[in-house]
Amino acid sequence: MIARVAENCFWLGRYLERAESTARVLGVTHNLALDAELPPEQCWRPVLITAGEEPSFLERFGADALEDPAQVEAYMTWDDANLSSVVCSARALRENARSIRDVVSLDAWEAINDLYLYLRGERGRADWVDHRQGFYTRVRSGTQLALGLMRSTMLHDLGLDFIWLGVMLERAAQTARLLDVHHHALAGAPGAVESAVWLTILRACSGFEPFMKRARGQVGGRAVAGFLLLEAQFPRSIRYCVHAAHSRLNAIRPPERVELPGAESAARLRALDAWVAKLGADAMDAGRAHDVLTRVVDEIAGVCMELGRELFGVAETSAPPAAATVAAPAVAPVQSQTQSSADAPPAPAVGSESPQG
Amino acid sequence: MSQDVRSSETLLPSRQSLFARYPALPATYDELIDERGEPRPEFRRVVEFLGQQTPEQVRRSQALADLALLAQGVTFSVYADSRGSEKIFPFDLVPRMVSKTDWAHLDRGLGQRVRALSAFLDDVYGEGRILKAEAGAARVPEALVRGSKGFVPSLVGVKPAGGVRIHISGIDLIRDSGGVYRVLEDNLRTPSGVSYVIENRLVMKRVLAAAFDQTRVHRVDHYPTRLGDALRSVAPDEAGDPSVVLLTPGPFNSAYFEHSFLARMMGIELVQAADLFVSDDRVFVRTTRGPRRVHVIYRRIDDAYLDPEAFRPDSLLGVRGLMRAWAAGHVTLANAPGNGVADDKAIYPYVPQMVRFYLGEEPVLEQVRTFLCDRDDDRAYVIDHLSELVVKAVDEAGGYGMLMGPEASTAQLAEFRDRIVAEPRRYIAQHRVELSSCPTWDNEAGRMAPRRVDLRPYIVTGREGPWVLPGGLTRVALIPGSYVVNSSQGGGSKDTWVQK
């Protein structure tokens, strides 16, 4: 597969997952804020932290704005300057898909385009104002439809492997950041409010029902955190996602084909997978959770950097990707809308140019 | 009078036809309606069917069509639009129809024209026989060829792998007031628009399926397969199973939709220049598993941006060494570099004599009489009659660099007079042809109105010779009274129905 195309696939997967995850976190938090009897700031600040957007938000709107849920929600949904916002993720998703229209199936493309047009048009705005939960549901079903269509209408070859690798690494990092934001709560005594928060975290990962089937009991911090970190059969747990990412990378670059590029990426992801596989329930002990989660996020960022260097040929181009840090999700090196046609290289139209000998 | 009553009875069993009191344009041939206001006999059933729709039905179909195009992302980018937004190419759902007889004539004429133009390119990049032919009837002036911006002297002597230079051409036809088809210009470099031909048909089938019951129409969706076959047929001999790619400038190019569309339909990879590199005069694509050889490049990038080594040393675009690889015969470029000399508007007047010189045949297709400002007599005539003429820069397209004399202001006329005197070789002039009209839905008035159209058929040439797609892009000037059909200037398109 062409290296640039592989990179677009990978970022398509990441943005797809990010759009969905952000929409889900916002919807769940919106719901929590209605009756949790928590100050708005305690509900909404974690959303900004998880997205790595707290500093930019505070700088632009000031600390008082944290008391205004509508402002945080609008910032995380519509803000064109916030690259983690739902609308920016959907746009980057579409730009990546549009760059590889020959790879993405027509059905999947239409789903992606439709989501973008919904967010850009009046329907999206109207739903957001009149029917907030419906809006978030619509965004999530749009991304899920795209993901499902890719799996059911595209060749299961390298293109889909790279998309899925992106989805899984993004999802693992999202779950890790979400847990990390609340790691201090692991030390606290369980109470009604704490349970509401942990339930919210579960729901933010679509994990409530699966958790109840496994835990069959009290919703406590240790149990929820352990589930989201370790449950091998839950498709949003860190263990599941890292392992799934590792198998995709093995399909992309079979371990026995040592002559192929990608040795360092594969080695790092293999090590992370092995390390996460060995973690026990004590990994979510109050004193340890933050370090474990930070290591997960850092290692994923490292793997992404190696992928860029070894497989996407980023080193050969002028724009290296911004590496992820503990707090901030990585942003694709290419295809953001800020690069309008005005900035694009002069794209020749038919007959508008002529050679000079 | 009685004739009128009868015709409206046959046309209108239940209600007034949308074509009733069709406001035909003076001295203009209409594609579907004759001078008595009747549907042309071969298109009668389709016209009557469409005429029986209610304005609400047409509005709904039109809205559905627009929605389908937007949902599928059938869009083009507009350079002048600083937001870089994508727009749909406006689509009108009244089909432009071509009768079986007319098409047989066009099919023959287009094939002939492409064969002659190919022979001309082989000749000017080879022996140059036509430049040395006897003065008069046959000869094309050498100075005109050498002075063409599309002529690349460094390519003289290069024989392209596969032997074909004009793999894909789009030849623009118009129809004069007598209904005669005439070639307006040739596009032999990277003609675009064929994806709209295919998409327009898909949309028509979706929103006006019943209209297809009224006549038999040639399909157009096999174009990508024919193109793919043609491209593989001209691979360098050394290629066993040829690897074909489509080279695009990228998603910000106005024709990106078409590039991705054709790549998908042919099942070939869409590459950008940075994905390719040349080593030992062979072209490779960078993949996640290392370099892979490329044999045929359907390039949708202009000559000037193909290879910085050959054309523009300052350019960051292109693939360094590509021209060397092509000259060495290790890669096929479709279309071949250097074709611009043959579709230069100042070379166009000589195409009929090329047909006679190379093929020994009489030209099938008519052209439009053209004045070359480079010739003293012609220039004097042009200067004197500027307000009656259409003046075009020989190296511009898309309706840019053009003067419509009859509509121009005094200042515009003066400006073009100065430009012509300063650079006569750059300009040609023609009398304005009253382009034929075709009924087009006027959404505001809720009725059919005549709008002027042209037709761009596409011709694919592989090792076996030219093949003409039975159909083409009908562009329509949606602005009332306008003669300019370009999408950049208020033009739209129609589905083109070639009857079986």
* Structural contact between residues B311 and B320, judged by C-beta atoms closer than 8 angstroms: no
Return mean pLDDT, chain B.
90
Say if B311 falls within a structural domain: no
| Helix H or strand E segment including A114 | helix A106-120
Over the stretch B409-460, which tens digit does the pLDDT of each residue have? 999 999 999 999 999 999 999 998 889 999 999 988 888 999 999 999 999 9
Predicted confidence (pLDDT) at residue A337 exceeds the cutoff of 70: no
Q: Which residue of B has its CA nearest to A7?
A: B288
Specify the 3-state DSSP secondary structure of B499: strand
Which residue of A106, A347, A354 is in closest CB contact with B304? A354
**Strand-pair category, B181-187 with B366-367:** parallel
**What's the rounded Cα separation, in Å, for the pair B98 and B498?**
5
Nearest 10 degrees: CA dihedral of B53, B55, B61, B64? Answer: -170
* Residue of chain A minimizing CA distance to B294: A2
Burial of A64: CB neighbours in 10 Å, binned 0-12, 13-18, 19+: exposed
For residue B191, which residues of chain A lie inside 8 Å, CB to CB?
A: 350
Place of tokens 């350079």: B79
Where would I find the H helices in B54-184? Answer: 55-71, 100-124, 129-132, 142-146
**Chain A contact probe: residue of B288, B294, B343 with most A CBs at under 10 A:** B288
In a domain, B412, yes or no: yes
Angstroms from B400 CA to nearest CA on chain A:
9
The chain A residue lying nearest B303, using CA atoms, is: A355
User: In the structure, what pLDDT confidence band is assigned to residue B15 with cuts at 50, 70 and 90?
Assistant: low
B-proximal residues of A, 73-102, CB under 8 Å: 95, 98-102
Domain coverage including residue B401: 369-431
Instruction: Assess contact for A304 and A324: CB atoms under 8 A.
Output: yes
8 Å CB contact of A253 and B288: yes
Predicted confidence at residue B16, as pLDDT, reads: 81
User: Does position B2 have pLDDT exceeding 50, yes or no?
Assistant: no
Neighbours of A32 (CB within 10 A): 20
CATH assignment of the domain containing B389:
3.30.1490.270
Collect all residues with Cβ–Cβ distance below 8 Å to B129 and sequence separation of at least 6.
B123
pLDDT at A233 over 90: yes
Per the CB < 8 Å rule, is A350 touching B253? no
> Closest chain B residue to A104 measured between Cα atoms?
B264
CA atoms within 13 A on the CB side of B358: 25
Q: How far apart are CA B300 and CA B334, in angstroms?
A: 9
Structure tokens belonging to residue A10? 């990978």
* Confidence tier at B14 by pLDDT (50, 70, 90): low
Q: Evaluate the omega torsion of the peptide bond into residue B335 and state whether it is cis, within 30 degrees of 0.
A: yes
pLDDT grade for A333, boundaries at 50, 70 and 90: very low
Q: For position A347, what pLDDT does the model report? A: 28
Predicted confidence band at B86 (pLDDT cuts at 50, 70, 90)?
A: low
> What is the token pair recorded at A178?
């979400």
Query: What are the chain A neighbours of B83 within 8 Å (beta carbons)?
Result: 340
Residue with tokens 């593989």: B232
CB–CB of B289 and A260 under 8 A?
yes
Residue type, B416: F
Query: So what's the pLDDT on residue B380?
Result: 94
Rounded Cα gap, residues A129 and A123, in angstroms = 10
Closest listed residue to residue A283, CA positions, set A239, A240, A246: A239
Q: Least CB-CB distance to B397: which of A100, A311, A350?
A: A350
Q: Which of residues 220-239 of A touch B (CB under 8 A)?
A: none
**Does residue B475 fall inside a structural domain?**
no
A-chain residues near B153 (CB < 8 A): 357
Which strand (E) or helix (H) includes residue B171? Answer: strand B168-175
DSSP B203-260: HHHHH-GGGGGGS-B---TTHHHHHHHHHHHTS-TT-SS--EEEE---TTSTTHHHHH
Higher pLDDT, B87 or B446: B446
Beta carbons within 10 angstroms of residue B13's beta carbon: 9
A344 inside 8 A of chain B by CB:
yes
Closest CA to A243 of A181, A328, A164, A155: A164
Q: Is position B413 within any domain?
A: yes
Find out whether B477 and B491 touch, Cβ atoms under 8 Å. Answer: yes
- Tens digit of each residue's pLDDT (9 = 90 or more) over A54-113: 999 999 999 999 999 999 999 999 999 999 999 999 999 999 999 999 899 999 999 999
**Digit-coded pLDDT (tens) for B167-184:** 999 999 999 999 999 999
Number of domains, chain B: 1
Q: What b/e sequence results for A283-308 when a residue is b if at least 16 CB atoms lie within 10 Å of its CB, and e otherwise?
A: bbeeeebeebbbebbbbbbbbbbbbb
What are the tokens at B267?
Answer: 């099942």
Q: How far is A347 from chain B (nearest CA, A)?
A: 5
* Res A212: pLDDT: 87
Q: Quick check: B96 and B495 in contact, CB under 8 A?
A: yes
Question: Which two structure tokens, joined as six digits, stand for A2?
Answer: 């062409």
pLDDT at B126: 96
Chains A–B, number of C-beta pairs less than 8 Å apart? 158
What span, in angstroms and rounded, lies between the C-alpha atoms of A32 and B440? 56
| Residue A318 touches partner B, C-beta closer than 8 Å | no
Considering only the beta carbons, identify the residue of A3, A102, A349 that sits closest to B270: A102
A27-41, B145-159, B292-306, B346-360: which has the minimum mean pLDDT? A27-41
- Averaged pLDDT for residues B134-146: 86
pLDDT recorded at residue A351: 30
pLDDT of A350 > 80? The answer is no
Task: Give the other-Cβ count within 10 Å of B359's Cβ.
Answer: 14
Q: Is residue B254 part of a domain?
A: no
Q: Which of A325, A326, A243, A235 is nearest to A279 (CA)?
A: A243
Among the partner-chain residues A2, A106, A335, the one whose CB lies closest to the CB of B275 is: A2
Residue B112 domain-assigned? no
Q: Is the pLDDT confidence value at A344 over 70? A: no
Do residues B355 and B113 make contact, with C-beta atoms less than 8 angstroms apart? yes
Confidence at B397, pLDDT banded by 50, 70, 90: low
Task: With cut-offs at 50, 70 and 90, classify the pLDDT of residue A320.
Answer: very low
Distance from CA of A6 to the nearest CA of B (A): 7
Residue B97 has pLDDT above 80, yes or no: yes
Query: Residue A347 is nearest to which of B191, B254, B260, comparing CB atoms?
Result: B254
- HSE-CB of B249 using CA atoms within 13 angstroms: 24
pLDDT for the residue A18? 96
Q: Is A280 on the interface with B (CB under 8 A)?
A: no
Domain-located, residue B71: no
Taking residues A175-181, what's their average pLDDT? Answer: 93
Q: What is the DSSP secondary structure assignment for residue B69, as one 8-state letter?
A: H
Q: Which of A3, A101, A113 sits opposite B260 (nearest CB)?
A: A101
| Structural domain includes residue B403 | yes
Query: For residue A342, what pLDDT is reported?
Result: 29
Q: How far is CA A219 from CA A50, A184, A200, A207, A237, in A?
A: 22, 16, 11, 12, 17
User: Of A18-27, A338-347, B254-263, where does the model show the most confidence?
Assistant: A18-27
Kindly compute the dihedral angle of the four CA atoms of residues B371, B373, B375, B380, in this order, to the nearest 10 degrees: 90
Q: State residue B445's pLDDT score.
A: 86
Q: Which of B288, B301, B395 has the CB atom closest to A311's CB atom?
A: B288
